[in-house]
Amino acid sequence: MTEQNRPNVQALIWTGDSLKVLDQRQLPDVSVYDEYRDAEGVAEAIATMRVRGAPAIGIAAAYGVVLSCLRHFDENPADWRARVEADSERLAKSRPTAVNLFWALAQMKAVLDQPSDNPLPALRARAEKIHADDIADNRRMGELGADLLQGAAGVLTHCNTGALATGGYGTALGVIRSAYRRNPLAVYAGETRPWLQGARLTIWELSQDGIPATLIADSAAAWLMKSGAVNWVVVGADRIAANGDTANKIGTYALAVLARQHGVKVMVAAPTSTLDPGIESGNDIEIEQRNPNELLPACYTENSLITAWNPVFDVTPAALISAIVTERGVILNPSEHGVRSLLQ
C-alpha cells in the first residue's frame, strides 16, 4: 500500500446495523471501540467526548438517526416517526457549538420528510454519503491548503483536526498531511488543555503517519512565533458565521492574536458543513461550557470556594484570519461577501 493510500485511524466504523466508536478519551494508551445500536448511546458517546471533532460528531449523529429508525420502524409501527424525532432531538442536545451536528441532523430530517413506505434504505444511504463526502472534502481541502503553505518552513496547529475528528484524513491536519507529502515542513502542535487533544491525539496521528512533530505547551506559542519557526497557524473550525468569525477550540483566538503580532498567517480549514450562514457573526455562536471538574485538580472539586471557568471553544474574529479553506474553494481575508459568494 502506498503512503498516499494508507488509511488513517478510523474514529467511526459503521457496520450496517451498529456504530463502533473509538473511545478517544483513552487514547493514545488504549485503543478500544464501543459498539452502539441505538441513538441514545450515540448521543451519550458525543456528550462524553468518546467521539469529538465537528465533522465526526455530525457523522455519528447521522448514523444515530439510522440506528433509531432501525429500532423503531419495526418495533413501533404506530409511532416510529415520533420516536425517531425524539431521538434526533436527543442527539441535537449532545453538544451545542459544532454546527456540523445540526447540519447532519437536518440532512437526515430531509430524508425522513420524503414520503416513503420504508425510509431505512434512504436514511442509510444519506448517512453513508455524509461520511464518504467528508473524507473526499478533506482530501480536496488538503490540496487547496497545501497550495497556500507552499514555501512555509513551519506550522503550528491546535486541538485535533485529523482522522479522529472527521470521517477520515482531517481538515487542518489533512492540510498539514498534504503539505508535508509535497515538501517536509516543521509541524508544531499545542497541547490543547484541558482535554489535551493535541498532546494525546494529534501527535499520535502524526506519528502513525510518519510525520515528525514537536509538542509545545499552549503557553509556549508566543515564544515559538517570536523564534520565527512557524509561518502559519493551521486550525479547524466548529462553526463559521456568515461574516467569517470562527468558533474553534479554546485557545485558537489567543493564537490568532499572537499570530497577528508576529506576522504569522492563520488558516482555518473546514468543510462547508461547518459554515453557518444563518448566524451573522461570532457573537451569536453558543460556546459550550463544560463541567468545571474537567479542569479543577481533584482536591478542589468538592471545595465550595474554588471553581473553574471552562469554556471549551472561543471565537476568532474574521479580521485575524488570513484564509478559510473549504472543499469548494479558498476565501482569502474572509468577509461576509466572501462567505456568501462561496456558498452561492
- Point out the residues that are catalytic: 238
Q: Does 255 bind ligand MRU (CB under 6 A)?
A: no
In whole angstroms, give the CA distance from residue 44 to residue 60. Answer: 11
CB 11 within 8 A of CB 164: yes
Among 165, 268, 279, 339, binds ligand MRU (CB under 6 A): 165
- What is the total count of residues that contact ligand MRU (CB under 6 A)? 17
Residue 203 binding ligand MRU, by CB under 6 A: no
State the DSSP H helix or E strand holding residue 189, giving kind and residue range, or none if neither. Answer: strand 186-190
CA–CA gap between residue 159 and residue 191 (Å, rounded): 7
Stretch that binds ligand MRU, among 9-17, 37-45, 53-61, 257-265 (CB under 6 A): 53-61
Site string for ligand MRU, 75-114 (x = CB under 6 A): -----------------------x----------------
Instruction: Sheet with 329-332: list strands edge to edge.
Output: 214-216, 186-190, 154-157, 232-235, 265-269, 323-326, 329-332
Establish if 197 lies at the interface with ligand MRU (CB under 6 A): yes
Residue 88 or 197 having the CB closest to ligand MRU? 197
Cβ closer to ligand MRU: 119 or 145?
A: 145
Between 237 and 330, CB nearer to ligand MRU = 237
> Pairing between strand 313-316 and 246-249?
antiparallel
Spacing of C-alpha 223 from chain mean position: 27
- Closer of 166 and 243 to ligand MRU (Cβ): 166
Nearest approach, Cβ of residue 98 and ligand MRU (Å)? 6
Nearest to 290 by CA among 303, 314, 306, 309: 309
Query: How far apart are the C-alpha atoms of 249 and 212, rounded to whole Å?
Result: 23
Report the alpha-carbon distance of residue 165 to residue 60 in Å, rounded.
Answer: 11
Q: Which is nearer to ligand MRU, 119 or 271 (CB)?
A: 271
**Region from 47-55, 83-91, 145-153, 324-332 binding ligand MRU, contact rule CB under 6 A:** 47-55
Site for ligand MRU in 141-160 (CB under 6 A): 159
Q: What is the rounded distance in angstroms from the CA atom of residue 34 to the CA atom of residue 269?
A: 29
Residue 221 touching ligand MRU (CB under 6 A): no
Report in angstroms how near the CB of residue 16 gets to ligand MRU at its nearest.
26
Contact between 236 and ligand MRU (CB under 6 A)?
yes
Beta-strand ranges (E) seen in 79-166 are: 154-157
CB-based contact 204:27 (threshold 8 Å): yes
For residue 265, the surrounding DSSP H or E stretch is strand 265-269
Cβ at position 83, least distance to ligand MRU in Å: 28
Name the minimum Å distance from CB 75 to ligand MRU.
Answer: 32
Question: How many other CB atoms are there within 10 angstroms of residue 37's CB atom?
Answer: 14
> Which residues are paired to 22 by β-bridges?
33
Contact between 315 and ligand MRU per CB under 6 A: no
For residue 32, the minimal CB distance to ligand MRU (Å) is 18
Q: Which is nearer to ligand MRU, 69 or 201 (CB)?
A: 201
Q: How far is the CB of 201 from ligand MRU (least distance, A)?
A: 8
By the rule CB under 6 A, 312 interacts with ligand MRU: yes
- Looking at beta carbons, which residue is closest to ligand MRU? 236
**CA proximity to 253, closest of 204, 189, 212, 314:** 314
296 burial (CB, 10 Å; 0-12 / 13-18 / 19+) is middle
Decide: helix, strand or coil at residue 86. Answer: helix
CB closer to ligand MRU, 39 vs 237: 237
In this structure, are residues 310 and 291 in contact, taking their beta carbons and an 8 Å threshold? Answer: yes
Give the interface with ligand MRU as residue ranges (CB under 6 A): 52-55, 98, 159, 161, 165-166, 171, 197, 236-238, 248-249, 312
